[in-house]
Structure 1
């Protein structure tokens, strides 16, 4: 469905995000060649979500990793929500860094670390190294806040 303004809409009339995107998740003009998109309608089981998110982080696509992790966060059990939300926030923090947004990177890395820490008791169910990921996020946030490099070469290891 397309509205009069030319925006893509779903069956209920909600705006859809059909524009191509660059590696940092920024929208490109319609018809531009972007990077392959993550299918937002596909929610992966936790182990597959972690594997895919790690692959995307390793490849320099934190925005896309966020999309995968957000699916796990929004579909997971209540007692795991903080953990998955934190992992998604960490990926958004890396996206902000990739987009040269120092304040956003620091803020989201810190919020992500806080939520991952809050969900640490359930992280072991999925082999997630919550302590290591929290330490990585806090160290990156501190470095960025101190004026260090925004984009890091080695992303965090989500699982042991």
Structure 2
């Protein structure tokens, strides 16, 4: 008798080549979904293996462009494809990018919480590994930036401009 309602629902969902659900809706620079057919920002491809130096450079470009959601995806690729001993570093950096994303979206509580969690994670990794500047990154400076921004977001309760408040991963230029 044709398609059942479950087949229609399944057939209408966005799926990748392995059948996993993927949302193909366009997104804005902060990763928020836009209506189908709207002009969106190109999504970051998933599962890209980059060198750590490429990861830092690409993430910094995205952060500077006010796209912390997309920078988070670059850090996530590094955490999932990199060596086990570096996963906590990249996961912490991804948390910082998501914290900035939430702060830019106006989510004060979530933004501040993730900024502090990410700051703690990168500091803990640096302390345990005794590496304060992996791949040229200034982890102490990045953690300080995150805690300062978390306080600013909580005090002001206002949305921040992600590009203006982007961290300098390698310190002051």
Q: TM-score, normalised by structure 2?
A: 0.84
Distance 1:123 1:46 in 2: 15
Say which SS state the counterpart of residue 156 (structure 2) adopts: coil
Could you say which structure has the larger radius of gyration?
2
**Are the counterparts in 1 of residues 27 and 33 from structure 2 also a CA contact under 8 Å?**
yes
Q: Is residue 150 of structure 2 the alignment partner of residue 144 of structure 1? A: no
Structure 1 consecutive aligned stretches of length 4 or more whose deviation exceeds 2 Å? 10-13, 121-125, 147-150
Q: Is residue 166 of structure 2 the alignment partner of residue 155 of structure 1? A: yes
Q: Is residue 45 of structure 2 the alignment partner of residue 39 of structure 1? A: yes
User: What CA deviation, in whole Å up to 9, does each residue of 1:47-106 have, x standing for no partner?
Assistant: 111101100110101111111111011111111111111110000011101111111100
Say which SS state the counterpart of residue 119 (structure 1) adopts: helix
| Structure-2 residue corresponding to 1:4 | 8
Structure 1: which 5+ residue stretches go unaligned?
Answer: none
| Structure-2 residue corresponding to 1:110 | 116
**Are the counterparts in 2 of residues 49 and 72 from structure 1 also a CA contact under 8 Å?**
yes
User: What CA deviation, in whole Å up to 9, does each residue of 1:101-152 have, x standing for no partner?
Assistant: 1111001101110111111134533111110000110111111122254315
Q: TM-score, normalised by structure 1?
A: 0.91
| Structure-1 residue corresponding to 2:68 | 62
Q: Is residue 82 of structure 2 the alignment partner of residue 73 of structure 1? A: no
Distance 1:144 1:103 in 2: 9
Q: Is residue 138 of structure 2 the alignment partner of residue 132 of structure 1? A: no
The offset of 1:7, in angstroms, is 1.1
Q: Which moved more, 1:3-12 or 1:76-85?
A: 3-12
Structure 2: which 5+ residue stretches go unaligned?
Answer: 1-6
